[in-house]
Structure 1
Amino acid sequence: PEPPIVILTSNRTREVHDALKRRCLYHWVDYPDFTREMQIVHARAPEATERLSREVVAFVQKLRTEDLFKKPGVAETIDWAKCLLALDVISLSPEVIADTLGAILKYQDDIQKITGSPARKILDEVRAELAAT
């Protein structure tokens, strides 16, 4: 029989042993651009309105530019959209972000860094960018 093909994924938080590295082919997968992430959110959270989806994706993409211990991935974008849907949220607000930031940031230091004024600033920037498009 053929040996299996094994795919390892990593977020680079743990070191991989050199012997394993020598036996691997590497392919870097970056975060998707806005359009692709919107397509993913539409597919995985189709109940979300266009406005909410655009705000969520734009906010998470802007958040990834911040100096965080763990930047949110696409899974967190989807989880956050579903969380907001469960709470009947129509659009983001600083209060909603403060109440749900744990859905996209997994470390307390990151949550504290973004809560309050930084979240409001990011939301304001996101809204200005979305209005311009």
Structure 2
Amino acid sequence: MPALPRLAERIVFIVHGVVTIAAAVLLAVLPGVIPATVGIAMDPVDNLMSYFLAAAELSIGLLSIGAARLDDVYSVRLIALSFAAFHGATAALEIVYIAMQAATPVLVINLVVRVVVCALFLWIGLAKRAP
């Protein structure tokens, strides 16, 4: 499979990083907002889960922005494949959730976005390029 141009890869990493950091901030400041978009009502006692997710999202977002600046093929490949695994696993778990609960339009859209993002990172991670 041919590689994306490096500029396109960098744009993918930066957009991914900015969106992920924005989600982290939203989860930290308003922990119930993102879960509410898919019909999950959270009591304030449940906020700790959102805070844990916010910390993970922040780390992933910062790594993504940092990856945009890397020139080492092996590092970029490892990071891209890790992101593909993260988004692929999340998509698989969303499918399990949809099978057990009712699907909402927002959840289905999120699932489609996850699959597309997973595919993009798989492309970056598996493409043939010179080291």
Q: What TM-score comes out, normalization by structure 2 length?
A: 0.27
Q: Which has the higher contact order (CA 8 A, sep 6+)?
A: 2
Which is helix-richer, 1 or 2? 2
Quick check: which has more Rg, 1 or 2? 1
Q: What TM-score comes out, normalization by structure 1 length?
A: 0.27
